[in-house]
Amino acid sequence: MPVLSEKGNNLPASPIRKLVQFADQAKARGTYVYHLNIGQPDIDAPKESLEVIQNSNLKLLPYGSSEGSLNFRKSLCTYFAKNKIEVDPQDIIVTAGASEAIAFTLSCIADPGDEIIIPEPFYANYNGFSAASNINVIPIISLFEDQFSLPAIESIEAKITSRTKAILICNPSNPTGYLYSEEEIEKLGDLALKYNIFLIVDEVYREFIHDDQTKHYSVLQSRKLTENAIMIDSVSKRYSLCGARVGCLVSKNKALIANALKFAHLRLSPATYALLASEAAINSDSSYLLAVKKEYTTRKKTLISALEKIDGVRVSNPKGAFYCIVELPVVDADLFSKWMLTDFTDNNETVMFAPAAGFYSSPGYGKKQIRIGFILNEQKLLRATEILEKALKTYSN
Amino acid sequence: MPVLSEKGNNLPASPIRKLVQFADQAKARGTYVYHLNIGQPDIDAPKESLEVIQNSNLKLLPYGSSEGSLNFRKSLCTYFAKNKIEVDPQDIIVTAGASEAIAFTLSCIADPGDEIIIPEPFYANYNGFSAASNINVIPIISLFEDQFSLPAIESIEAKITSRTKAILICNPSNPTGYLYSEEEIEKLGDLALKYNIFLIVDEVYREFIHDDQTKHYSVLQSRKLTENAIMIDSVSKRYSLCGARVGCLVSKNKALIANALKFAHLRLSPATYALLASEAAINSDSSYLLAVKKEYTTRKKTLISALEKIDGVRVSNPKGAFYCIVELPVVDADLFSKWMLTDFTDNNETVMFAPAAGFYSSPGYGKKQIRIGFILNEQKLLRATEILEKALKTYSN
């Protein structure tokens, strides 16, 4: 048999999807599974975004512009301007979700053996995309006890080597829900400038801030960072359009955008229908996003309060996004999560979580932790929490 | 300014899209441009494929399965079976076009510095995707004079080193239209087995064979190749669904598919609407493909016969796909193609070609050649040929 690549053999499995087979087996046995493992919103997309597709009158699906249609990029600029982010269409490359934006970004800034610094726990696919490009992730631990705030800037600086190409954060963070402050972004920006590297910020959860007094500060709002800032975005979570696979990378660095366009040319173009639906969503009334944000904030309160009532459970209170990290009174949350799918049901129902160890790159961290996405309605979240409580009792016996 | 990757800086520009800016400028001056440069079909997609979208009643767009829905993969199996290709759903990973299938395949089989042997001229993006993964393309010349048939097998064998991971061909070929015979595929298969490497065949143009007596022979029809064969496919050209971005990689090699699934997990899932449209297309009546095939064959005859009448022009007669390589009586077809966009019009119309040098990896080859796609109707093809003839006369003066 021919030999496969080391890269492919060593590619880490997704912590979000790794237990899928056990969930499938549970469903096959007739068990209802509450999916709190994935970031798949259950809220309706803006109706305009789906109507535009139903009313489309295409006779065939042609390739589009590799960088995304000008109209779509103009719509993005208008949306960004509402968030105090001033960019032009030529600063944007439209991608197949934030996923492709991350892949393009890494390809544009790093060669094999280069390094990217990422505070952990982090979105596991940052690790995957880095591995796929033979780039080394240099993790720096942020702590449950500190609500996962930015580690001391000196400890980040200490990780910078001649191979370091960027610092990457997700703001607000998947999986922790931590919201980086303007001060923290500026501190990271100073480091990027000092060492002539990039600051990449994944802002796909920008809209979901659970406190009306707090504003999101985009890396593209920083006046001094121009050439060093790259922002990742996506319509997936914001408009419940995960299956559209439409995102973008945005930067004022023209050389970077020119190279990203070459990678975009390679894969020809974003998907036609997806772009139509996404454009309609971006142009939909702002009341849509307000209602969605309110719904997630309500769910957050309900979920956190229910979790805090469970004996031995500790919760990190997220300021943004729709995830929280939960510490369980178990030795290995990975085994516990699997057990909940294979061996436990309550009234023929169970819950699927994402074990948090897979969001850490340093071995041994997050073993007692899970990530919960509050992407089900309040009633279901309460029921899922009830099942968790019962499962923990059974498991400890 | 921060340093960009060498990989990105060195990524070759697409020969198909490199003259786009000059075409855009011509259009801005009011000139009509016949696009024979791109493989963008003008034929209507199966009407079922677009109706299913108009009738869709989705409330949001969820992530799908990373490997593509089981129903979609089953539909693919039924389609393949009609073409004497026996595969199971678990042999298939659905991708964002053939592009992503190529990217996944290369990632699964090669590490940086490894080599892939490809007869040239070849689809330029094979080069691009290899460069994006730091894989070295080892070209082996096939000749206009031989209608671009497979180079002597000994000369291919002579290129195999300890770093060689695969031989890659496109059958029938973009850009030459050459159709590899069963004997040629089997010879390549023998080499793959002898050296324990992969034979990758891009079969996206499988249906477009311009001679009813000749059958396409898929690499997956080879009985002996099982673990060594990888087939690339796409709905783009077959059903005029280029903008869907739906393709697949197919292999009986279970370890390969398992690793490809890890890369698929990374980018989460194919696009929802695109998959719906593609499934309906694959399940559409076979009369659709028969009619499309007949149309391309008619166009081919018309185009070749018109080109052959032009003084000094030589045409390679394609057996399949919808491209041909044309040798022009000019020193540099790249400069000529650019000149046609910047300096020539006939009755305020001009034509855009893809200069063929970009389909060769060895320097100096194909300088007098262009690739023409017969993706416009007969009347337009005749008019475009007339414009070419006039342009050549003006250019030579």
pLDDT tens track for A182-208: 999 999 999 999 999 999 999 999 999
- pLDDT-derived band at B270, boundaries 50, 70, 90: very high
Contact residues, chain B, for A263 at CB < 8 Å? 8, 11, 132
- pLDDT-derived band at B303, boundaries 50, 70, 90: very high
Binary contact (A274, B273; C-beta < 8 A)? yes
The per-residue pLDDT for B16 is 76
**Which chain A residue's Cα is nearest to B255?**
A4
The arithmetic mean of pLDDT across residues B326-350, rounded, is 97
Res. B18: pLDDT tops 90? no
Binary contact (A274, B271; C-beta < 8 A)? yes
Q: Which of B4, B11, B44 faces A60 most closely, judged by CB atoms?
A: B44
Contact residues, chain A, for B27 at CB < 8 Å? none
Contact residues, chain B, for A260 at CB < 8 Å? 8
Quote the mean pLDDT of chain A.
Answer: 96
pLDDT tens track for A152-164: 999 999 999 999 9
Q: Which two tokens stand for residue B265?
A: 């997990």
Res. A55: pLDDT tops 90? yes
Alpha helix segments (H runs only) across B199-285 = 254-266, 272-282
With H, G, I as helix, E, B as strand and everything else as coil, classify residue B177. Answer: coil
Q: Residues of chain A with pLDDT > 70: what percent?
A: 100
Q: Strand A92-95 to strand A247-250: parallel, antiparallel, or no bridges (unpaired)?
A: antiparallel
The per-residue pLDDT for A104 is 98
Chosen from A7, A47, A60 to mutate, greatest number of chain B CBs within 10 A: A60
CA–CA distance from A392 to each of A329, B46, B78 (Å)?
Answer: 8, 54, 47
The arithmetic mean of pLDDT across residues B22-31, rounded, is 96
pLDDT tens track for A79-128: 999 999 999 999 999 999 999 999 999 999 999 999 999 999 999 999 99
Q: Residues of chain A with pLDDT > 90: what percent?
A: 94
Res. B247: pLDDT tops 80? yes
Binary contact (A6, B111; C-beta < 8 A)? yes
The amino acid occupying position B211 is: D
DSSP sequence for A339-372: HHHHT--BTTEEEE-EEGGGG-SSTTTTTTEEEE
- pLDDT-derived band at B32, boundaries 50, 70, 90: very high
Binary contact (A45, B59; C-beta < 8 A)? yes
Sheet strands side by side (includes A198-202): A92-95, A247-250, A229-234, A198-202, A164-170, A115-120, A136-141
Pick from A112-121, B31-40, B92-101: least confident: B31-40
Binary contact (A243, B41; C-beta < 8 A)? no
Q: What is the pTM of this model?
A: 0.96
Res. B1: pLDDT tops 90? no
Q: Strand B369-373 to strand B354-355: parallel, antiparallel, or no bridges (unpaired)?
A: antiparallel
Q: What separation, in Å, do the N-terminal and C-terminal C-alpha atoms of chain A show?
A: 48
CA dihedral B336, B341, B345, B350 (to 10 degrees): 100
Binary contact (A53, B55; C-beta < 8 A)? no
d(CA B254, CA B262): 13
